[in-house]
Structures are given as C-alpha cells and as structure tokens.
A and B are shown apart, each in its own frame.
Chain A
C-alpha cells in the first residue's frame, strides 16, 4: 500500500494505477532510477459544467446558469486525469472539466513526470487562456516547474508541457493553475496531492502506514480522507460563461464546497467522470463521506484553496493536528507539539493533517463552524461545507483501498 499512487478522477486504487498503461515507465533511465521510481501522470486543463445542489434557490441571472446543459447548472474550469488515454480520447475531454481536480499521491523520492495538456475552453473559444500546474507548498521548487507564468512558463491551447517533480518531504499539498490565478482557481482548477513518507518502507509495525516520517508511529493511520476546501461564487462563474468581467474584490461566495461538492452531495459515493451514471455529479467524482470502523485511526487531510478561512469542527470526536502545511509539528530539537482540538482552522492556501480515533458506532457530522457557510445559495436547510463520519462496528468496512474510499 505504501507504493505511490496517482489517484485520478476515477479514484484509482494503487494496484489499478500501477497496472494502467503509461502510468509507470517501463524502462529505468539509469541506475539512479532504482531509488527514484518513475511515475507518469497526464492531466488536461479545460472547461465544463457541473451541478451544485439543484434545490438551491435561484439567483437570477447567475444561478442556475441558463446556458448550462441539463442536468448541470454551473460553469467551471478544471483538470481531468487523461493518463494512458489515446490522443483522440484526450482531445475528446475538451469541455469536460471536473472539480475537484484528480487527487494525486506519490512517494518521497519518486521521479514524477506530470504532463499538462491545454485543451482550451469549449464554452469560450474566444479566450486563449493558458494553463499551468503550480504545486502549492512544494519546497525547493525551481521557477521552471512552479507554474507562475510571469516567472516561468504557461501552456498555450493545443500544446502540452511536462513538469518534473522529485518530492523530498512527505505531507499534504495542493496544486492549482497559476495562470490568472484569481480567476482560474475560483473557477475550479484546484486539487490535492499527497507525498507519502519513506517511513512506509520501514514500518515500525508490519503493514502500518504513516502520514509523516514521525520516528515514533504517532502519525500511523488505518484510513485516510482528504478534503479540498473551496468556495464557489456563482456570479463569477456566470460572468465567465457569458463573456463578462469580474471585480474580484467584490468576492461573495454562493456555495461552500468539500471536494467540489456541497452537502448533501458531499456524502454521495465516488464517481467516474467517464461514466454518465453519476448524473449531475458526473464531473464532481470525489466523495467526502467518511466511513470507518470503531477504533480505526482516521487521517483527515484538509487543504484550503478558497479565499476564506474555515474552521472545521466535529462534535463528540477530538481531532489531533499533527501537521500544518505539510510540516510535522515538531521543533528543531525534536519536541513534539501536536494539538488536540475539536476545531481546526484552515486558512486560504493552508493545509492541516489531523488524526482521530473512531469512537463507537454512529454518525457524526464534520462541518464548518461558520454556520452561514452551511447552506446552499442562501436557501433553507443544511448544505455547504459539511459531511458525515459514519462509524461501524469493528469489521464493518474492509481495509481501505484508496483515499476517500
């Protein structure tokens, strides 16, 4: 399980990923590759349509967007996992963006070749926006692969660029497009990336997995769930679809999202963006439903690429924050400074890793303590940035095969 896995939009498991053609380079380039396994991922940047909860009140003309094809209602930009696809199939993904972007996971010291193809925008063929990958929080980045077009490169429509990363530090990171980032990030080009620690190769106990190289097993976990925290401002999405311009300092979100979905969609199962079976959530494939057995150690990875601070809380369960911004809370002299709390604040651009031990069977809510973020478009009832922790009796759920499974 410790092997690196690129969790695509289809939330591929480790074994599936490793078996997929093109995922893993067949030929090692040199002897150095023995310590740097080669991982290849192919992402495409484009636009598309997604569905916020349909019972949210209308906010004419912004929501639902009258241009949206049924069953969708909101225009987005996003990334798609096109690893292993033929060039014809890749081209066919134009106009089929997903939010959140594919979750990716790698091991420390992997050699990662990440190709980004810019498919252009189906709804806005007049725009010639570039796209980039910015691996947010990646220490030791060089500008060439940092994705800030003013300080490096951007990928024009119809072209691709292969980024190279060799992560040395385990933790929870994010990635997003940095081309006109205020717009492209809000429009949905945001995803999560984890780097798994070298300690997984030499576990303190057989089969154990860790969030960090903790040295003492204190970040061991049985299951992991990751949450991309964002907000969605319907007016901005409408204006992008309708050839209008935003004043971003008027920012005023309409929906508050976990992995691109608002409650109760957050609790729907994982989907496959290549399958229409998921209907309105087809292009929002990543579930936020937490399922675990009593006594499981559950790792929560939380990353915020919204523009607001969020305080995530859960009643009746204590959360122990072991890391902030992909850095274990441990001083230079080795002093551990984990923080046990029932409320975890995550600011824009920040991440948190928190571990809890699942209590007795039951259902628990994980939600943003700012109650005004717990509705959909200002409508009645609960919505927004909320999901469920479902705890079963020991043995209810088999071993987890992938994050958020």
Chain B
C-alpha cells in the first residue's frame, strides 16, 4: 500500500552510451577513472595487493548516511565492499593489510591454500587466558599491518573477510570478493571448457546487510549488542536498489564504486553464443534467496569448486532462485533466450496491450518500453520518467526473502537490481 517515489536520477542512459569494455586487463588506475558495467578487478602482475582497513560513509536510497568500516586499496579512498581481487589459480598471492581502525582487525581467506601471516601459518589467536581473540593473526589497532600470503585455490569466487570480532566487524563492512581464474583461461569460470563466458560479461554480486543502529553505536563509540541486531538494509555490492542500477564509479556514490546491472543481448547461436557469468557471494548472516526473473541460471561452481563428478561428469544444475547461505559462493552462467520472437508484423503478440492510461504505475518511474516487442519504444506521458532507451527489455532480479527487497521496510528497494536485455542489433538510441 506504500507508494514509492524514486528520488535519484539513475543515469542509466549515461551508462548505456558507454561501450562495454573488456574487464580482464583493467588496471587499478583505469578502473578508478571510468564509469562502466561489470566486474571491476584489482589486478597486479605479482598478485600483490595492499589493502587498508578504514572507515567512511555510504548512502542509502532513502537518504540515510551510514558509518562503515571496509577494506580499500591503500592507494585509493574508502570503498564498500573491499576491492575485487582477481588472481590466477595456483599462483602465490600476497595481501598486505594496513589497519587504520581503532581496533585490531584481520583477513581470513576461506578456500585458499597454505595461508600464512607474516610468514607463519595462519592460525587462531588466543589471549593469555586461553580465550579466542581472532580467527587469524591481526594487524594492530590504529597503524598496525600484517602480510598474508597464500596459493590461490581452485578457480571460482571466494569471500575475503575479517577474522576478528567477526559479528561486529563483518556487520561493519569488512569483506570483499576474490575471483580466482583458471590458469590460461581467463574467460572461463573454472577449468572446464563448458564454463566459458562472453568477453566482458562478468558480474560480481556481493550480498550483505546493514543494521544502522550497530553502525551508529560504533560511530559514537557506544557499546554494541550484535545479538540484538536487526538488519534494515540489504545490499548488492554495497548498494541498495535503485542505486544498484547506477554504473560503476558513479560520482554520486563515491564510497560505493560497484554497480550491479547485468547488460546483455539475447542468446544467438552465431552472434552471441556465450553466456554471462555472475558470482554470488554471501557476506551476511542469513540466507539470501536471489531470484532473477525471465531466465534460469546454471550453477557450475559452489564455494570455489566446480560441480563435477570424479570422472568429470557434469553435475551443474539450472535454478530460478539462487539461495546463497552465509559464507557461501555460487558461480553461475546465464543467458536470455528470445524463444517466441514476437514481431509486430510476422508474429504479433496475441493479446491486447492496454493504453498507458489504462495501466497503473507504481511511482513516477518506468522501465517499460510501452511495447512488448524487443527494440520498439513507445511514448509515455511527460509526467513520467521513462528509463527505457530503445525498447530494450528489463527483468528484475531480487531477494525473494521479500523483507530483504526493501529499504528499511519500504518496498522496491534493497537487494534488487535489473538485468537489461538489448535488441540483437544493439541499442540505437532515439
């Protein structure tokens, strides 16, 4: 019953006008400079990364500003989530953690091999009384540092996240995505040839939640009761709908550089044969059952491991809802197939499309083209904001634990984004 007005300009048009660029060779410097779609990787020839745990603020679509802790590239400012680190399977990775927070923090690397901290095996830390103080060696408060090394695990996606005071620090935002690529096959999800994805069509969906009361207490240096926590914001890559639709590095979201708009064309055996890939990671404390409309997604990896039998049998499966548990990751392949090929003259849609005056809109924004035909866009009254550019299709994708699809309880927000499907010939703007 609640009416929603989308307050923020979405800049979808600006995003669409940029030509999609391959993501795999993107450098840190160029990543910061451009507005784009798809995964923004931090890469390094020596696979050595310098991260700083620091504080900053994010904004939410309902106008809130929330104090966060997060990892950042040491040469850049605050960002949520931490940088997406892209590395090659089987090679050594070095992550130097600098800490500017007022308490000790750390990073655990689930799924990696031979993890060491300052050259010693990574292991739980105990105080003199025998109480566990951290899952792994820490960087001391304020100005400490620690160097972690490991061998990148099997190809797939992984979380990296705090191992210290985990209830509180994870809630505060200390998490990021690690994408491990198969050696020699950067356009595959894993070592199987059937995991190939289209160039540039790679997306990371790092899912998380925020209880603003915890963040306010930390900001004010007050006691925190994480057991009484109640999440009010649910995010993809540190953003809630509709900010999820904004491009990477949108200037109005300075601390939230990663978008979540999937932008593809329909499957075609000749011109567009390869699927996109989405890496789902759950950095939160509850399941996120993520439901993309309009297409199944093929789960080919779980928790960094290919779904296959001992002799290479394919054990992948199709899903219309990706239920990602806390700490879990899923890597999927997805495309969208225009099976009916509706065409206004040769294959018309067999039902009556009502005039827009006979429709009911929610809010003043629409993404609908006012046409069922891919590539056809019809006019809307001037009091509406028409986000459709050239008759492209939009399918929503959102958590189906529907209280997570809200911004502090207000619908059409939260853990939600859209998949944009352009006409086969591309989007020729009108």
Contacts and interface: CB of A to CB of B under 8 A. Distances in A.
A150 B360 contact: no
A43 B374 CA distance: 28
Given A150-B365, A245-B2, A182 B393 contact: no
B402 A327 contact: no
A309 B358 contact: no
Contacts of B359: 153-154, 156
Interface stretch (B82-90, B198-206, B218-226, B406-414): B406-414
Interface in A59-110: none
Interface residues of A, number: 69
Contact of B393 (A134, A143, A164): A143
A135 to B, nearest CB: 10
A309 B403 contact: no
Contact of B319 (A142, A240, A327): A327
Interface string B356-369: 00111111011110
Contacts of A150: 361-363, 365-368, 396, 412
Nearest to A29: B350
B402 A248 contact: yes
Interface stretch (A262-270, A331-339, A364-372, A386-394): A331-339
Contact of B289 (A130, A180, A349): A349
A331 B315 contact: yes
Given A140-B294, A186-B402, A113 B351 contact: yes
Interface in A135-177: 136-146, 148-156, 159, 161-164, 166, 168
Contact of B294 (A146, A159, A349): A146
Contacts of A308: 401
Given A153-B359, A324-B319, A142 B393 contact: yes
Interface stretch (B24-32, B33-41, B46-54, B334-342): B334-342
B294 A149 contact: no
Nearest to B402: A182
B116 interface: no
A325 interface: yes
A158 to B, nearest CB: 10
A350 interface: yes
A154 B361 CA distance: 7
A247 interface: yes
Nearest to A330: B317
B363 A251 contact: no
B406 A249 contact: yes
Contacts of B315: 331, 335, 337
Contacts of A198: none
A318 interface: no
A307 B408 contact: no
A246 B315 CA distance: 43
Given A154-B359, A182-B403, A183-B411, A140 B313 contact: no
Contacts of B352: 162
Given A162-B351, A247-B408, A142 B403 contact: no
Interface in B325-357: 336-340, 342, 349-354
Task: Give the most central of A129, A154, A247: most B CB within 10 Å.
Answer: A247
A183 B418 contact: no
Contacts of A151: 366-368, 394-396, 418
Nearest to A139: B296
A185 interface: yes
Interface in B360-398: 360-363, 365-368, 371-372, 374, 393-396
A60 B2 CA distance: 24
B396 A307 contact: no
Contacts of B401: 307-308, 348
Task: Give the most central of A136, A150, A153, A324: most B CB within 10 Å.
Answer: A150
Nearest to A305: B400
B320 interface: yes
A113 B339 CA distance: 18
Nearest to A157: B360
Contacts of A399: none
B1 A309 contact: no
Contact of A327 (B230, B287, B318, B342): B318
Contacts of A164: 349-351
Nearest to A179: B362
Interface residues of B, number: 66
B406 A143 contact: no
Nearest to A239: B1
A159 B358 contact: yes
B143 interface: no
A325 B406 contact: no
Nearest to B211: A249
A30 to B, nearest CB: 10
Contact of B409 (A185, A247, A324): A247
B405 interface: yes
A350 B289 contact: yes
A161 B354 CA distance: 8
Contacts of B371: 144
Nearest to B365: A150
A349 B314 contact: no
A127 interface: yes
A152 B194 CA distance: 34
B1 A240 contact: yes
B291 A143 contact: no
B125 interface: no
A181 interface: yes
B291 to A, nearest CB: 4
Interface string B86-129: 00000000000000000000000000000000000000000000
A349 B232 CA distance: 21
Interface in A329-367: 329, 331-333, 335, 337, 347-350
Nearest to A159: B358
B351 A141 contact: no
A250 interface: yes
A349 B360 contact: no
Contacts of B133: none
Given A127-B1, A129-B1, A181-B411, A144 B372 contact: yes
A164 B291 CA distance: 22
Nearest to A115: B351
B231 interface: yes
Contacts of A326: 320
Interface string B285-303: 0010101011110000000
B293 A249 contact: no
Given A162-B352, A349-B289, A149 B317 contact: no
A153 to B, nearest CB: 5
B411 A180 contact: yes
Contact of B402 (A138, A144, A152, A181): A181
Contacts of B194: 332
A347 B368 contact: no
B321 interface: yes
A240 B2 CA distance: 11
Contact of A347 (B323, B351, B406): B323
Contacts of A307: 400-404
A144 B406 CA distance: 24
B289 A327 contact: no
8 contacts: A113-B350, A142-B393, A149-B362, A150-B412, A152-B368, A156-B358, A181-B402, A327-B296
Given A144-B372, A164-B349, A307-B402, 6 more contacts: A141-B395, A149-B360, A183-B2, A245-B1, A250-B230, A335-B315
Closest 3 CB pairs of A and B: A349-B400, A331-B314, A347-B323
